[in-house]
Amino acid sequence: MTVMPGSGTPTASEPVAARVARFGPSERAAHWIHATAFFALLATGLVLYIPAFAAAVGDRPLAKAVHLASAVLWVTGLAVVAVAGDRRALRRTRRELERFDADDALWLRGRRAPQGRFNAGQKVHAILQAALAVLFLVSGTLLWLGERNTAFRLPGTIALHDLSMFAALVLVAGHLYLALVHEATRPALRGMTHGDIEGRWALEHHAKWTPAERAPATRRVGREQRIAAAAIALAGIALALALVSDTLGSG
């Protein structure tokens, strides 16, 4: 017995696969790079922001050095995935996240409506995370430059950086609850850890999506892509080390 896409009605037609592919290696790599960097930046940022945490750690310059290095390696990692990863899969994911239709509008108003590979809430979450990432990057860069040149000390930069952090913290807390605690949505986590999810769960929660049992074959990375990715990685690591050295040296 199966469920017809978009209806949730059992039928005796084509069977539901036990597991279906949802995310490829490049999508998962981008997700985990972003997640790892976020928690590294959050932990070190709280040490810099809250005096009690700074006192407990006892080495504020080290926390600042790790904070700056994490920011650089975050951007570097995402750039490497963009250059050497499956660009077709990444572009498809971006298009799906940016496309809203009438069913998404109904879903956001709390009504039951069939969803694609991403539901409307996931789309909103991804867009907000991307916007906050830009705000973090711009405000953080201005703060770093402002320490070296007063021309970059713009009013409100610190407030923007801090408010972005609080907004991101709320988003991530909700994301973690849905991924780890909420029983109805917990099965989705496997998509980011293994790449696939239960076929029946996918049909119930993402009825407009037509998944494949196996992920498409990963495209071979060309020589030019490998060279570009290696250059980006080396440049990012060098910059991160330089920032650590500069921060600890001046701290």
Residue listed under structure tokens 């590979």: 117
Count of C-beta atoms within a 10 Å radius of residue 3: 18
Domain boundaries, given as residue ranges, for the chain: 19-211+241-249
Q: pTM for the complete prediction?
A: 0.88
Q: How much is the pLDDT for 116?
A: 96
Which three-class secondary structure state does DSSP give residue 20?
Answer: strand
What's at 67, amino acid-wise? H
pLDDT tens figures, 175-219: 999 999 999 999 999 999 999 999 999 999 999 998 876 666 667
Does the pLDDT value for residue 87 go beyond 80? yes
> Which of 227, 192, 244 shows the shortest CA–CA distance to 29?
192
Beta bridge partners of residue 10, listed in sequence order: 3
Contact between residue 86 and residue 26 where contact means Cβ atoms under 8 Å apart:
yes
Condensed to tens digits (0 to 9), the pLDDT of residues 91-139 reads: 999 999 999 999 999 999 999 999 999 999 999 999 999 999 999 999 9
6-44 per-position pLDDT tens digit = 434 444 456 778 899 999 999 999 999 999 999 999 999
Q: Which CATH superfamily is domain 19-211+241-249 in?
A: Transmembrane di-heme cytochromes, Chain C (1.20.950.20)
Separation between Cα atoms, residue 131 and residue 82, nearest integer Å = 18
pLDDT at res. 237? 98
State the virtual CA torsion across 81, 85, 88, 92 in degrees, nearest 10.
Answer: -40
Give the DSSP H/E element, type plus range, for residue 197. strand 196-198
